[in-house]
Amino acid sequence: MKNNKKNKINPKYVLAALSLLCIAGIGLSLFRGFSMPAAGTIVNSLMAPMQEGINSFGNFTAGIVQRKHKTTQLQNENEELNNEVDKLQAKLTAMENNLSDYEDLLDLLALSEKYPSYDMTGARIIGKDAGNWYDTFTINKGSVDGIKKDMNVVAGNGLVGIVTQVNANSAVVRSIIDDASNVSGMISKNRDICIVNGDLTLMDSGLLDVELITKGSTVVKGDEVVTSYISDKYLPGLLIGYISDVTENDTELTLSAKLTPTVDFQHLSNVLVIKQLKEDMKETGSASETVASDTQSTSETQSDTADSTDSSEEGE
């Protein structure tokens, strides 16, 4: 260990020797014309490897900083683009909703023109029971808007249901697909009476149960069914749907059938509430004749004069 310390050259001596060498070279160059590398050249030659390493390290460090800055910049730009996409998506969704509402309102306008004798008011659905079907739902109109219990509700192309509960600013509607619903119906072409029931077992298939059709009825698939004149709560002539299947049971005195409702009970958003009540119509004998003339247009199969005569006689 002591020998190593003795053999080690002091850096000060090395620096002094290099300085003397440089001075000697400069002197010889000036006084004798002797050509010798300048002191700066010698120092540069000695420092060049170190400088090269320092420069490489500096360039490497600068590259890392630059790449990090570029990455941060790209991340910020990407975040801004994502925010812009979210805003555009929200605007697109809002436009689609507005378009859907506009189409619904056009359908409701056409429906109101289909029944000109009825006073109607529009309402938006603001709540519903769990599930895919609008069997029971809440609308944003209530007693302050003139809504009363047992008022009929329509949408799309026909009957939706009936108001069962009224609050100040909202009301509950039970649709005809609900298991507790039963509507007195009528086959449009021959005026045979029937009962249209909601059925939980048929709800997923989008069908209603029809029973108590007269045994000798000429009802067939595709026949139109509307609300009858003998219903206690439903106004006459409102389109319910179309017969999809007829079943004849030898042990029964009546026929049964399945009915496809005209309303899409999976996609409801706006409805019309008819502000007349059936009990009010019972007090005015002339009302049934007016309704009969309005609802004749709902049947696509009534074309002969005999049916028109039956309609006028029943109104009398």
Does a structural domain hold residue 287? Answer: no
Query: Of 169-173, 202-206, 269-273, where does mean pLDDT reach its minimum?
Result: 202-206
Query: Of 195-199, 206-210, 249-253, 260-264, where does mean pLDDT reach its minimum?
Result: 249-253
Integer Cα distance of 180 and 263 in angstroms: 18
Closest CA to 176 of 155, 190, 197, 194: 197
pLDDT value at residue 76: 86
Asked if residue 173 has pLDDT above 80, the reply is: yes
Does a structural domain hold residue 137? Answer: yes
Does a structural domain hold residue 228? Answer: yes
Domain CATH for 223: 2.40.10.340
Does a structural domain hold residue 180? Answer: yes
Q: How many structural domains does the chain have?
A: 1
Asked if residue 22 has pLDDT above 80, the reply is: no
Does a structural domain hold residue 258? Answer: yes
Digit-coded pLDDT (tens) for 110-143:
888 888 989 999 999 999 988 889 999 999 999 9
pLDDT value at residue 85: 82
pLDDT value at residue 33: 52
The separation between CA 176 and the C-alpha centre of its own chain, rounded to angstroms, equals 24
Does a structural domain hold residue 125? Answer: yes
Domain that holds residue 147: 115-278
Bridge pairing between strands 239-248 and 193-197: unpaired
Does a structural domain hold residue 294? Answer: no
pTM of the model: 0.63
Per-position DSSP letters for the chain, written without gaps between them? -HHHHHHSPPHHHHHHHHHHHHHHHHHHHHHS------HHHHHHHHHHHHHHHHHHHHHHHHHHHHHHHHHHHHHHHHHHHHHHHHHHHHHHHHHHHHHHHHHHHHHHHHHHHHSTTS-EEEEEEEEE-SSSS-SEEEES--GGGT--TT-EEEETTEEEEEEEEE-SS-EEEEETTSTT-EEEEEETTT--EEEEE--HHHHTTT-EEEEEEETT----TT-EEEE-TT-SSSPTT-EEEEEEEEEE-TTSSEEEEEEEESS-TTS--EEEEE---HHHHHH-TTHHHHHHHHHGGG-SS--SHHHHHHHHHHH-
Asked if residue 35 has pLDDT above 60, the reply is: no
Digit-coded pLDDT (tens) for 297-307:
444 433 443 34
Does a structural domain hold residue 55? Answer: no
